[in-house]
Structure 1
């Protein structure tokens, strides 16, 4: 094994489009056949889920804020991954003045080439930490029902989410301001700093090899797995998890004084309990899907550390595994939409109304038309009317 001196030295610079065209062609085929259909379906499914979550059940809980923020981040992740993947591939074939997207591709090469991958990394980190925060919130909600009933508000959830996103932006600021620079000669463009991106400096070793894999992959992954198991443990430990004891404890004195007035609060409490239970099941499903589809990224981090220790360079299999992990990440963001849709009753109500209207229209069209009234019956009705009215009116 080679001895590595921790002095700045050239890292393994291997770009498939430049150094291995066969590998680049394989990655392009994976993106076109798998990533592109998943991106289109993911945008459609998440749009439907956004409609279902636009007007959620009205209970004073922050879980809907977390779910809506995660749904928006799903949209952003799909869009940014698609843009960072397909725009460079599109511009590879538009490099002459007679090409359709020549002007757009020139703008992409000058400004967007190095910014888009970093924006994608920023959104992926936000998405990862949002799922971890959702799992933490659900465990806190179940394990501390008394405290969470008072402190779990919409304003508190919004404050936590905004703070977390601001911290994520500040954490990703070095990859923009320390690794990129704006040049104006011979023309305005954004390019990478060689000393920060092509040399194994202390900054690159600490930030990209230790801190970033730990904070963006390992720690959130462990938090999601741990809090999901703890949440399941709390559910099975208290099988009567419906918050009924808590509700009756707070309303015991009221029930003794007035029994009739508590009928409607009991119904409201029952609805709220069902929504909380449905939220718990939905969040656990989201976390389980996330852990399954992102397990390959966990392996990529271990593989990166192995190459760093052995002073090796990534192989073709590493690039293909990284591309497959992107496809699985897109699949995870698309599959979450079904969990969001199942979380609410809007789609179920819409299907029921559609079936009811269809059955009514079908039954109306198949019934025979009513026969016109018989002439004798009409004369008899007219005679009865005349007897009740004035004779001058009947004439």
Structure 2
């Protein structure tokens, strides 16, 4: 039953598109469905495994970072852990149902495991992936803002940038993401006790076209999970690069220490000379902040590049709704490619972190 007012043009177009353009590749296009499954098996699975391995190596490198009271390593570890979660959850979401569809009889080897997947994971795993992606993207967005704050407010950030503050920011981000994703768990999922305990979807919220689906899934979800953080990261990256160009040596204005040269604080150091250990610590901290800035800017640039196609698919969806058009085959393919690129972004992060950490270890060794 159409519950929309006939006068709202956007609502009527959305209803027409969703009713008239209902198309499930598994049901209506077997060739496309099997092609996407084969691509996932031979493309997404190896890419995800490579990402998991290298993210594990990066986590090992960051397990014992230099003893510097900065929140940057807290953010880096959080991003690496979320990369792990994103890679693993996306692989399971894409390949586990495909595998379990072939394990349908009691005599099959993994019939018991796949029964658990059908009962508890088939409907909940997509929601978990949505939650992980939301936390992941906003953690990177927070990292971009944190880096701009460190570069543009060096003295204030040195006094206030602590691991405890970084953990508090991450906790607030996680709670906000959970609150944003709470409707997909509370409204769309239903626990059934008969004939056996299982988790299914509620068709009143997932199939019936109502204000919830229009507002949440067509507007709020893509806007706050993709468009806003994408613009956020782009702006803060540009502002950070602007600050970097203004002071290329990444020195703090009031605590700059330059070995073998003169700075604005030379007169201060004549009256209050720094101890050699303190001077060495300040120089090392500047180098650490320099490398952290380069690493984070590279990571954000890779993220923006790899997720630009995902942003295009969102605008493409809005374009189809506004023009009463149905998605074509290429739209399903582009959506799948966007998923691969997001995993590639998580994999590239590991290489950036490993290179950054190895430089830190070499610095410590010297």
Same fold (TM over 0.5): yes
| Segment drifting more, 66-75 vs 262-271 | 262-271
Instruction: Please say if residues 16 and 24 of structure 1, whose CA atoms lie closer than 8 Å, have aligned partners that are also in contact.
Output: yes
Q: CA 1:121/1:167 → structure 2, altered by over 3 Å: closer, same or farther?
A: same
Residue from 220, 230, 253 that aligns with 1:211:
220
Residue from 260, 273, 276 that aligns with 1:263:
276
Unaligned runs of 5+ in 1: 353-395
2: CA distance between counterparts of 1:7 and 1:267?
63
Instruction: Please say if residues 61 and 154 of structure 1, whose CA atoms lie closer than 8 Å, have aligned partners that are also in contact.
Output: yes
| Segment drifting more, 294-303 vs 180-189 | 180-189
Q: Deviations over 1:224-279 (max 9, x none)?
A: 111101100111122342226434699878734564x5222111100000000000
Q: Give the drift of 1:134.
A: 0.6
Residue from 291, 295, 320 that aligns with 2:308:
295
1: CA distance between counterparts of 2:360 and 2:88?
25
Q: Give the drift of 1:184.
A: 1.9
Residue from 323, 326, 330 that aligns with 2:339:
326
Q: Deviations over 1:274-326 (max 9, x none)?
A: 00000000000000100111111000110111122223332211111111011
Matched, 1:15 2:29: no
Larger radius of gyration: 1
Residue from 90, 96, 101 that aligns with 1:92:
101
Unaligned runs of 5+ in 2: 1-8, 258-262
Q: CA 1:3/1:65 → structure 2, altered by over 3 Å: closer, same or farther?
A: closer
Taking structure 1 as the reference length, the TM-score comes to 0.83
1: CA distance between counterparts of 2:361 and 2:234?
31
Q: CA 1:258/1:167 → structure 2, altered by over 3 Å: closer, same or farther?
A: closer
Query: Counterpart in 2 of 1:136?
Result: 145
Matched, 1:313 2:317: no
Q: Deviations over 1:38-87 (max 9, x none)?
A: 11111110010000000112211111100000000000000000110111
Instruction: Please say if residues 297 and 325 of structure 1, whose CA atoms lie closer than 8 Å, have aligned partners that are also in contact.
Output: yes
2: CA distance between counterparts of 1:266 and 1:60?
16
1: CA distance between counterparts of 2:63 and 2:253?
29
Instruction: Please say if residues 13 and 198 of structure 1, whose CA atoms lie closer than 8 Å, have aligned partners that are also in contact.
Output: no
- What's the Cα RMSD here? 2.4
Instruction: Please say if residues 8 and 202 of structure 1, whose CA atoms lie closer than 8 Å, have aligned partners that are also in contact.
Output: no
SS of the residue corresponding to residue 268 of structure 1 reads helix
Q: In the TM superposition, what are the counterparts of 1:1-395 in structure 2 within 5 Å?
A: 5=12, 11=19, 12-243=21-252, 245-247=254-256, 255-257=269-271, 259=273, 262-345=275-358
Taking structure 2 as the reference length, the TM-score comes to 0.89
Instruction: Please say if residues 7 and 201 of structure 1, whose CA atoms lie closer than 8 Å, have aligned partners that are also in contact.
Output: no
2: CA distance between counterparts of 1:237 and 1:254?
24
Q: Give the drift of 1:16.
A: 1.5
